[in-house]
Structure 1
C-alpha cells in the first residue's frame, strides 16, 4: 500500500474506532468519513462494506489483546495477569457495542477475516488461564472455550440496556468464580 493510502487507512480506522465506540456497530459510515475529513468514496475504497471496517477494527483490538496477554504473563502473577486480561478484553467488547456476534462467529468460521486474530487472542487468554491453573490459583475444570464464552456473555450483557450497568460488576463475579484464591 502506498504511504498516503496507508496514512488514510490508519486515520480512517482511528476515527472509526471513536465513532463506533460512541455509536455502536451500526454507526453511520457517512459520519466516519465526515469526521475523518475524507469523502465517502475514500472510505469505501478502503472498507467496501461495514463488515470489512468492523473486522479491521476488531482485528486490531484482538491483536493488541494477544500482545497484552504476553506482556501480562511476563510481568504479573498468574491470578493478576488473568484478571487484568479479562478486564481488558471486556473493555474491548464494550467499545464495539453490537459487534459481539461477529466476534463469536469468527472463532468458528475459518473463512472469516477475523478468524486468525480471534483464535490467536483466545489462545493467549487460554495460556493465561493455564498458567493460573498450573499455579493452583484458578479452577481446573474450565478451559479457554469456557473463558471465551464467559467474556462473550458479559459483552452481550453490556449490549442490553437493562444489564449494561451490571457488566463491570459481573466481570468481578466471573473473575472470583474462576480464581480459587481469596
Structure 2
C-alpha cells in the first residue's frame, strides 16, 4: 500500500476510534470521514462499510501486537518482550476504553469473525515467547499467557494502569524484582504511535 493510502487508513482508524468512543456505534460515516480529513469515497475505498472500519480498529490492534510479538528477541530478552507486549496492550485498551464501550466489544473476544485470524497469530507468538520465558526461568511455571492477556484486557483506567500493570507483571515473573525493573522502564516510555 502506498504511504499516502496507509496514512489515510491510519487517519480513518483513529477517527473511527474517537467518533465511536464519543458518539457510539451509530455515528455516521460522513462524520468519521470528516474527522479523518478525507472524503467518504476514500473511506469506502479502504473499508466496505462502517462496520468493517470499526472492526478494522480491533484488527489493526491485534496485527500490531502480533508484529511486536514476532520480532526477533535477543538472548535473555524474552521477559522484556513479554512485558513490552503487556505494556503495549494495556496502553491500547486503556486508550480505547470509550471505543470499546461505544462499540459494545469484549476485549479479545469481539468483533469475533474478523478478530479470530488477527488474534490467533498473536496468541501463537505470545505462547511461544511464554514457553521460552518459562524455559529460561524468568516466567513463573504456573503462569499462563491467556490469563495474563485476560487480566491485561481489564486495565481500562489510564490513571490506574501503572499500578495494575506492575501487579500483573510481578505476578507472572519467577523473580518479581526483575519484572518490577522492566515495568519501571516501560512506564518511562512515551505512548507508542501504534494508532
SS in 1 for 2:160: helix
CA-CA distance at 1:96 after TM superposition: 2.7
- Large movers: runs of 4+ above 6 Å: none
Aligned to 1:169: 163
CA-CA distance at 1:48 after TM superposition: 4.4
Once residues 119 and 85 of structure 1 are traced to their aligned partners in structure 2, the CA distance between those partners, rounded to angstroms, is: 15
Residues 12-67 of structure 1 deviation map (CA, whole Å, 9 limit, x = unaligned)? 42113333554554374433311334333542454344331122222223222212
Alignment of 1:41-120 (within 5 A): 41-44=41-44, 46-71=46-71, 73-74=73-74, 77-97=77-97, 98-99=99-100, 101-106=105-110, 109=112, 112-120=113-121
Q: How many residues align?
A: 168
Structure 2 contact 66–121 (Cα < 8 Å) conserved:
yes
SS in 2 for 1:99: helix
Once residues 76 and 88 of structure 1 are traced to their aligned partners in structure 2, the CA distance between those partners, rounded to angstroms, is: 20
SS in 2 for 1:153: coil
Report whether the alignment pairs 1:121 with 2:122.
yes
Q: Which one scores higher on RCO, CA 8 angstroms, separation ≥ 6?
A: 2
Cα distance 1:54–1:22, how it changes in 2: closer, same or farther (>3 A)? closer
Q: Structure 1: state its 5+ residue gaps.
A: none
Q: Normalising to structure 2: TM-score of the pair?
A: 0.70
Structure 1 contact 20–96 (Cα < 8 Å) conserved:
no
Task: Identify which of 15, 22, 25 aligns with 1:19.
Answer: 15
Higher helix share: 1
Moved more, 170-179 or 143-152: 143-152
CA-CA distance at 1:69 after TM superposition: 1.3
CA-CA distance at 1:180 after TM superposition: 1.8
Once residues 91 and 58 of structure 2 are traced to their aligned partners in structure 1, the CA distance between those partners, rounded to angstroms, is: 12
Aligned to 1:138: 139
Once residues 164 and 37 of structure 1 are traced to their aligned partners in structure 2, the CA distance between those partners, rounded to angstroms, is: 28
CA-CA distance at 1:178 after TM superposition: 0.6
